[in-house]
Structure formats: structure tokens, C-alpha cells
Structure 1
Amino acid sequence: MSTGPAALASVSRTASSLISGEAKEGNPVRNSTGIWSYGLRALVFNLAVVLGLAVSGAGAQAQPKTVLALGDSLTHGYGLDEPEIFPVRLQQALAGAGVEARVVNAGVSGDTSAGGLARLDWALGDPAAAPDLVIVELGANDALRGLDPASTEANLDRILAVLKERGIPALLAGMKAPPNLGADYVARFDALYPRLAEKHGVPFYPFFLDGVAAQPALNQADGMHPNGAGVAIIVERITPLVVRALQ
């Protein structure tokens, strides 16, 4: 049975015809007893109510959210099987939290903040189908290469500015510089993330590798990329913030 607006309109027209007795010659309503007329009226009314509720319920169903994970190898899933990577695990975690969402993997291994900015338009795709949230996870490779934190900040600043201009919500995931780069570099690099989050007024997850960095059991042999267990911890900790950002 069709439950769309057309079906509901058809029921309404039928109800008017039957109840008013304007149907063609021989209409049972025209020559019926009062009891039959009353019963038919009740039947038509109840059917209209059921169809109306079906139409209302169908229209009220929430559309799935789209989350774009813009990042580097930590997002892309370097060295991991597909079921273990961050976007897949996050999508599952969101479903478990009652949020129907599709998490798009826009991570590129080895990418810097400059690379993320350069491919931002491509990653966002059709403006008419903009994501509901962009998780910005970039900068780890900037630090590993010892790039000037001012350049990293400028690139991330522009990414967040573009998202704001287009009305696309963002969530900034911070990164921390390796201590062997020196106290001055670490201080300058680590400070840029909270500063940008405050400037743009976006949700901020201070350290993407929180609880995972420097934990051999949670990382691959290179000591830099999380293994499946490490990704599970990242997802567990960041999911509540993602859920709030999607509300």
C-alpha cells in the first residue's frame, strides 16, 4: 500500500465522497442504514489517520550524517587492514552511540598541513553535498620534518577558515611534537592547536594519539603508527566529542 502524500489525498477525497453521498448511483452510503454509514465513516477515518501517521513518520526519519576525516597516515590507516582503520572504527562507534553516519576516509599517508590544504577542495567535493563535519587531523608530518610551526599554523588556519566560510562544521585534532626536536620547537608547535581552536570556535581534541603514543603494545613496529588496539583507544576517546559536534 502506498503511504505517500498522494495516497493520503486519495483517501481524503474518497472519505468526502462516501460520507457526503456524492458517489455514483448505487453508492451503499446513499441507501444505507445509519449504522452502516457510521461504520464506514469510522473505517475511512481510521485509514486516513494510519496513512497520515505513516507519512509523518517517514518524513521525520533523520538522514545519515557525513563525516569527512581529513588527515595523514593516522587517518588513512597506514599498515592496517580495512576493518581496523580510524574511519571504519569511528563509523561503527557512532552507530553504537545511536548516530547514523558515514565516515569518509580523506587521509593521505605522508601528508603535511600544506598537502591537506592543497587538496581541501577536492576532498570536500560537490558543494551541494557538503559533509556535516570535517575532522582535521594534520601536522604530525610537519613536526617529523621539523617544518616551521608558523607555516603549519597558517595552513591549518586557512583550512578552518575555508570550512567556516562554507558553513561546514569542523573538529580540530591536535598533535604534539617529538621531544627530541627541542623544548623551543615543542612549545611553539604544541601551542598552535589550542590557539586555532579558540580562534575559530571549533571543538578541540587536544592530542589525537592520547593514550596511545609511546605505548609499544598499542603501536606498530615503527613506534609511530597505532596498531588495531591503538586505533580502538583513539576512537573510544574521541567519539563522544564527535557525537556532540554532530548534534
Structure 2
Amino acid sequence: MGSSFEAGTVGYGAVAGIRKALMSVIFVCCGFAAAAESVVVAALGDSLTQGYGLIEEQGFVPQMRRWLAEQGADVRLINAGVSGDTTAGGAARVGWTLTPDVDAMIVALGGNDLLRGIDPAVARANLEAILAAAAAADVEVLLVGMEAPGNYGPDYKAAFDAIYPELAAAHDALYAQSFFDGLDAASDPEAALKLMQPDGIHPNAEGVALIVADLGPKVLELVQRASE
């Protein structure tokens, strides 16, 4: 991504910080208390986030919106998922995803890197750029992991699987082990298959509901962090 990307994100972070500070001064000087606003969360991802193969209301973001509302959370969740996107695509567009109103971000990328056999070091660098951009913009992050299949070999799997927990720890981001944990595929593979679309890659509406229920508490924790 290079120094130009990093410089851009740092510049944006400074502007965002100045903007927030000025707004606080305006409200104090005018004697008004700022009204509580919804926490704005951008879901940066690929087809899993975008809702591939499903009618809009069945996708991850709409189902997560409903789940959060049922918990009483005042959240505006933005669908920033792009089908086919890799970690490189996410890094390339994170700057314009992080608009001044965004308070937090869910990052769920890496599945397409796995499908293409992209070097784990490249995926790591891209995800690090995304987390650095979020930090520069003072945006809290939930990093959702992705686990490599065994057919790439143990070295590849170990290197790829380690990316997410290590980057989350390094950047003080919240961490969820896998987007698919809610499907419980390890203990009941046959049941998990029934929760997938015919392509075996994307969850069906019922599968998305289980994924949302599993990730929902982490998203609530993200919202709480962003509210502090």
C-alpha cells in the first residue's frame, strides 16, 4: 500500500479529530447538550458481508441490524461488503469507507485470499493497513477471523490462521475467531452443510441467522467501546 496510503489515513485521522473537537466546543459554547446519536458501524467485507445469493433482508447486515435492535442497541449498520473482495480490495477502499460519521468497523475479509491461495504475508499486510487506517480515524474495530483449510499444507494454515489474533492483539481490536463459528461445523459437519447455499461457500438465510447470533455479542461489545 506504501507510504502514500498511510499518509492519507493519518491526515484523515487528524481532520476527523479536529472536526469532533470543534463540534464539542460549539455545543458547549452555545449552552446545548448534544443529543444522543446512533453509533455508526461500517461492516467492511466481501460476499459474506454483502449477502451474496440472498434477498436483501436475509443478508448478514440486515439480520444483524434486526438482532441489534432486538437487544435495544441504537446502531446504524452500513453494508460495506463487496462480493469477490480480497484483503487488498478492503485496504484500497477503507479510506472512503471511514467517513467522518463512522464510529466503529467490523472487518471480515480473507475468504477470497484463501480461495486464491494468496501469500499469508500479503493478507497480513493488507489487514494491518486496514487496522492502521481505523486507528488513524479513531475508529474501534472488530476483526473477524478466517481459518485456512488443511489442503494448503500445515505451514500455510498456521501462518494464515495466526494473522487475525496477532493483529487484533497488536492493534487493541476486538477479535472473533471465525465468521462461521455459529454454524458449529466442527462438531456436526452434515448439519452445517444444510445451512449453506448450494455452492458450499455462502450461508443460507438460516445459516446467517446463526452467524449473527454468534457474532452479535461481539458487535454489542464493539458498540459499547465506540460509545465510551
Interval of TM-score (by shorter of Structure 1 and Structure 2): 0.7 to 0.9
Q: 1:152 aligns with which of 123, 127, 132?
A: 123
Structure 2 counterpart of 1:137, from 108, 124, 127: 108
Residue 175 of structure 1: aligned partner? 146
Q: How many Å apart are 1:62 and its aligned residue?
A: 2.7
- Taking structure 1 as reference, are residues 177 and 195 closer, same or farther at Cα in structure 2, changes over 3 Å only? same
**2:197 aligned residue:** 220
Q: Distance in 2 between matches of 1:191 and 1:148?
A: 13
Structure 1 segments, 4+ long, off by >3 Å, are: 58-61
1:245 matched to 2:216? The reply is no
176-185 or 93-102, which deviates more: 176-185
Give the equivalent residue in structure 2 for 1:93: 67
Which piece of structure 1 moves more, 133-142 or 209-218?
209-218
SS of structure 2 residue aligned to 1:204:
strand
Partners of 2:60 and 2:106 in 1: how far apart? 11
Residues 86-141 of structure 1 show CA distances to partners (whole Å, capped at 9, x for unaligned) of: 1111111111111011111000000000000001112223x3x2x12100000111
Decide whether the 8 Å contact of 2:98 with 2:134 is kept in 1. no
**TM alignment of 1:192-211, pairs within 5 A:** 192-211=163-182
- TM-superposed deviation, 1:237: 0.7
Matches within 5 A, 1:1-247: 62-125=36-99, 127=100, 129=101, 131-212=102-183, 215-247=192-224
- What amino acid maps onto 1:99 in structure 2? A
Q: Residues of 1 paired with 2:67 and 2:182: CA distance?
A: 18
Q: Per the alignment, in what secondary structure is the counterpart of residue 211 of structure 1?
A: helix
C-alpha displacement of 1:159: 0.5
How far has the Cα of 1:60 moved from its partner? 7.6
**Residues 43, 108 of structure 2: 8 Å contact kept:** yes
| Percent of residue pairs bearing the same amino acid type | 50
Whether contact under 8 Å (1:144, 1:178) holds in the other structure is no
8 Å Cα contact 2:63-2:209 kept in structure 1: yes
Which structure is higher in RCO with an 8 Å CA cutoff and minimum separation 6? 2
Tell me the amino acid that sits aligned with residue 208 of structure 2: V
Cα distance, 1:211 vs. partner? 3.2
Change (3 A) 1:211 1:240: closer
Bigger Cα displacement from structure 2, 174-183 vs 146-155: 174-183
The alignment's TM-score, normalised by the length of structure 2, stands at 0.79
Structure 1 contact 144–177 (Cα < 8 Å) conserved: no
Amino acid at match of 1:136: V
> Any gaps of 5 or more consecutive residues in structure 2?
1-31
> Could you tell me how far apart the structure 1 residues matched to 2:114 and 2:54 are?
23
What is the CA-CA distance between 1:178 and the residue it aligns to?
A: 1.8
